[in-house]
Amino acid sequence: MGIPITYTEQELVLALKERDNQAFNFLYDNYAGALYSIIKQIITDNGELASDVLQEVFINIWRKIETYDQTKGRLFTWMLNIARNASIDTLRSKSYQNSQKNQELPDNVYKSVANQTILMNVDNIGLKKVLEKLKAEHRVLVELAYFKGFTHEEISEMMGIPLGTVKTRIRNALLQLREYLQ
């Protein structure tokens, strides 16, 4: 009875800020899949953990909706960054690291991760599929920066590439990525 089937983004944000459960249901039904996909592209080896992160992400969305600022981007962008940050935090958590028992712990962790990342271009989904179209040197940087959450400084050190070059390459990679999203 009068329950809207769809919301404009403006309506949805207002309803969510009013703690409208109906709106939250709509939000989940429409965005959980997209966010779950990005979480799984970051947490690649543990579906159960990815589900836990998705759960945590939506709870955080509900709790932090007040802090969402429409002037700084779309709702989905905001949620996507929450999902990405939560995934990377999980990836870097001690418990996750401990679960990776067969993972070697070399002197230079960064280099190791970088090497793994270069070799690890199998079974890509979502945005990673687009990455496949990038040049290898670009792809690795986006992989490390976006999907592994390394800072430009960290990548510079890992790859032995100057910080300015890292930044430029990542920007160029993202511009190409944008082209592929068309």
Partner 1 sequence: MNLQEYISSGIIESYVMGLASESERAEFDQLCTQYPELVAARRDFEEKLEKYASENAEIPPSTVKVKVLEAIGNSPSRKTSSPNSPKIINMENSSSSARGSGGLRFIAAASVILLVVLAWFAYQSYTQNADLKNKNAALEAKFNSTDSILKQIIEEQKIVKDPNVTVVNMVGTQTAPKSSANIYWDSTSSNVFLVVKNMPKLPSDQQYQLWALIDNKPKDLGVFDATDEKVILKMKNTQKAQAFAITIEQKGGSPSPTLQKMQSLGKTTQTQ
Residues that bind partner 1 (CB under 8 A): 17-19, 21, 24-25, 28, 30-38, 40, 51, 54-55, 58-59, 62-63, 71-74, 76-77, 80-81, 84-85, 125-127, 129-130, 145-146, 152, 170-172, 174-175, 177-178, 181-182
CB of residue 108 to partner 1, shortest distance in Å: 23
Retrieve residue 106's tokens: 């070399």
Q: What is the nearest approach in angstroms of partner 1 to the Cβ of residue 92?
A: 15
Specify the residue, 74 or 135, whose C-beta has the smaller distance to partner 1: 74
- And the tokens for 119? 């070799």
* Secondary structure letter of residue 72 according to DSSP: G
Q: Is the dihedral of CA 90, 95, 99, 102 positive or negative?
A: positive
Smaller CB separation from partner 1, 7 or 31: 31
Nearer to partner 1, 84 or 139 (CB): 84
Min CB(113)–partner 1 separation in Å: 17
- Which residue number, 27 or 110, has a Cβ lying nearer to partner 1? 27
Task: In angstroms, give the least distance from the CB of 13 to partner 1.
Answer: 14
CA dist., res. 51 & res. 11, Å (int): 28
Q: What share of the chain is helix, strand, coil (3-state, %, to 5)?
A: 75, 0, 25
- Tell me phi and psi for residue 79, to 5 degrees: -65, -40
Kindly tell me which of 63 and 94 has the beta carbon lying closer to partner 1.
63
Residue 58 to residues 33, 47, 147, 160: CA-CA distances in angstroms?
12, 17, 20, 38
